[in-house]
Amino acid sequence: MVVKKLGALATITAATMVAMPFAQAGEADVPVAPKATGAAVKAPSDMGKYNTQTNGTLEKPATIWAENFDELHLPDWFSHTGPKGWKVKTSKASSGEKRWRGWTFTDVRQWTWAAGTDERHWFTRGSGNFAVMESEHQRLAKDESFSTALVTPQIPVGGQNQLVLGFDSHYRQGKKGQNATVTISFGGGEGQTLLTLDKNDYSNHHELEVKVPGGAKTAQISFNYNNSYNDKWWAIDNVALHKPYKYEDKKPTGIIDIISDTHANPDAPTNGKKWGRAMDRISAFKDKSTALVVNGDFVDTMRDKNYFEAEKILKAHPYTGADILWGSGNHEQYGQELSSEKAQKNFLTWADRDKPYAEKVVGGVVLIALGTEYYDDHASQGKEPFWNASQAQLYWLKGRLDHWENEGRPVLIFSHYTLANTVSGTHSAWYQNDYNDVEELNDILSGRKNVAFFTSHTHDIVTLNDWWGRYTLPENVGDGIPVFNTGAVKEGIVPDGDNDEETLKDDRSSSLRARVFDDHLTVEAWDLVSGKKVQEVTLPIGAGATAGGTDDGSNGGKDGEGASGSKDGSTGTDEGDNTSDPGAQPGTEPGTQPGAKPGSQPGAKPSSQPGAQPSGEGKNAGGKNGGKSDAERQASEPKTVGSFIATTGATALVPTLLGAMAMISLGAVAKLSRKKN
């Protein structure tokens, strides 16, 4: 993999250690998190390089044909001419706008500029170019309507008996009588219907099973928008035909429980009770997990009282597995009268480590937690960007990913902050700019085939279609890295309008379980209120979900415990080096110390460089999630950060941040006024 930007990181300077006064003498230190109570178990004895040759692993041999429309040239920002062999068949109409008469190839920016947003940009699964049937803006005369079909080339299927059609779809239902269908025909014969859409189906990934008739040599797929009369729209992307995935491994290497956004606060005792319920649910699983990842916002602010509340609820309701990996979120940085150094000290004390980023290898599963190293809540007033990484962290991340890529091992990366246009809610401007060092992060991630990414922060419910998605970059648009929304312990939220969201009034709480196998990854979404699994997806290791998973993401799992290929007792433990020392890993630049703010002097402010805002280049534009029921669109209480009481901690030595780190002017991002979740 070529990393294009990291050369700019070469000018690293060693940080100095300085004393930072955090507290008045004699005040109690923030507690260290109570340890997990479970016993360590040995990792599998046969752990070696992962098999990259079996059906559906790193090289994706199961895909026999695919199209993502990204090679199309769009001289007028749209086109009616598709890829070679594709045809648009449209019944006659004389009125309306020709641009939208039948299927059109465009991208989300041009589509929404011409037709408006109105939830079109909720298509988080759409990346680069895609195909659109825009009905609302045709402006047909009152006595006209038409139907249109987007038809693939003839696809060779000789010798196959069972195939799966996968594609990403963003559909909004129009008036009664209008619908959409997906059909397939073989050898020019009569088409058979695989799917009918007659209600909202936002940003979904469909996997449709296809039985190939004996003797069939070719197949042709048609996406049909029927009886269009100024209705709504349908967009599709990332169409692929693949053989059913057959996985060699029946027993997972490890099972990881993933949880986030508890917001421990003595003034909000319900949050602690929800944590207790979550631990009860996880403890009751028949298949015990190897580790728990807490992906940020475990506390409501950096204040000491919240960490003492966190200790209280964790002691009362401990994790009964073998290990916990702690991640930090924006709420670990909040507390406007306090300092970034205070935030770092409290979190690192709690997590019992010396850096906000870490790696654990648990039961043969590689877990990496990213973390911000500086955030001035007073200057930024709770606004993004939140993730400010030192050059040392970036070098370390590249080195660790290179190492595990060479080993052929999958890596689960955990970051509280969202990647734009990936999962539920991330179409919104609220979640587009969380990473200050986004270009460097993109360069490190681009082209990786063994990585899955888990994000939190939105509190979006995990029953929405795009609870999982992809992060696409210039070198792998249409493929990309699988990304999963972890939900939240505290509450449930749904998108609303162009950029806003609603907090649901009823009791909502959710988590994920990841079952990691040698040749695939199964991720389950759990409703912690009912104790039921609500969704599940299985992806080949290294496949960026182009060919999708075991279901279409609409309802995934059966109630209760036990998922694909797993057996009871399938756990593992550390391979010796439990938490790696980030500063000692391959790829870390010598002589660097993460953990201090820009400028080598205590109290230095972030630099305000014109044009230093993170670039959105290289990410999918636009997204959508979840056609919401009336019940889920009910009026909801706004999310607010509670009143804060200043607390202080003990004086300590802490590292200062690297002086060469370029950051956004925090004063320049005041376009939003409220604090993020």
DSSP structural state of residue 617: T
Helix axes 304-316, 269-284, angle to 10 degrees: 30
Decide: 33 and 324 in contact? Cβ < 8 Å: yes
Task: Please determine, for residue 7, whether its predicted confidence score (pLDDT) is greater than 80.
Answer: no
- For the segment 616-640, what is each residue's pLDDT rounded down to a tens digit? 323 333 333 333 343 333 333 333 2
User: Where does the chain hold its CATH 2.60.120.260 domain(s)?
Assistant: 61-240
What was the pLDDT predicted at 115? 79
Q: In angstroms, rounded to a whole number, what is the distance separating the alpha carbons of residues 145 and 350?
A: 64
What was the pLDDT predicted at 451? 94
Largest CA distance in the chain: 84
CATH level 3 topology of 61-240: Jelly Rolls (2.60.120)
Lowest mean pLDDT among 374-388, 440-454, 622-636: 622-636
**Cα–Cα distance list, 206 to 317, 351, 670 (Å):** 39, 40, 39
What was the pLDDT predicted at 205? 96
What was the pLDDT predicted at 95? 57
**Cα–Cα distance list, 341 to 632, 641, 651, 654 (Å):** 40, 21, 11, 7
Strand partners, 88: 150
Dihedral sign for Cα 476, 478, 479, 480, please: positive
Q: Which pLDDT band holds residue 8 (cuts at 50, 70, 90)?
A: very low
Residues 6+ apart with CB under 8 A from 361: 43, 367, 574, 575, 577, 578, 580
User: Where does the chain hold its CATH 3.60.21.10 domain(s)?
Assistant: 252-538
- Rounded (5°) CA angle 513-443-467: 30
Task: Please determine, for residue 308, whether its predicted confidence score (pLDDT) is greater than 90.
Answer: yes
Q: In angstroms, rounded to a whole number, what is the distance separating the alpha carbons of residues 648 and 571?
A: 41
Per the CATH hierarchy, to which homologous superfamily does domain 252-538 belong?
Metallo-dependent phosphatases (3.60.21.10)
DSSP structural state of residue 333: T
> What value does the mean pLDDT of the chain take?
76
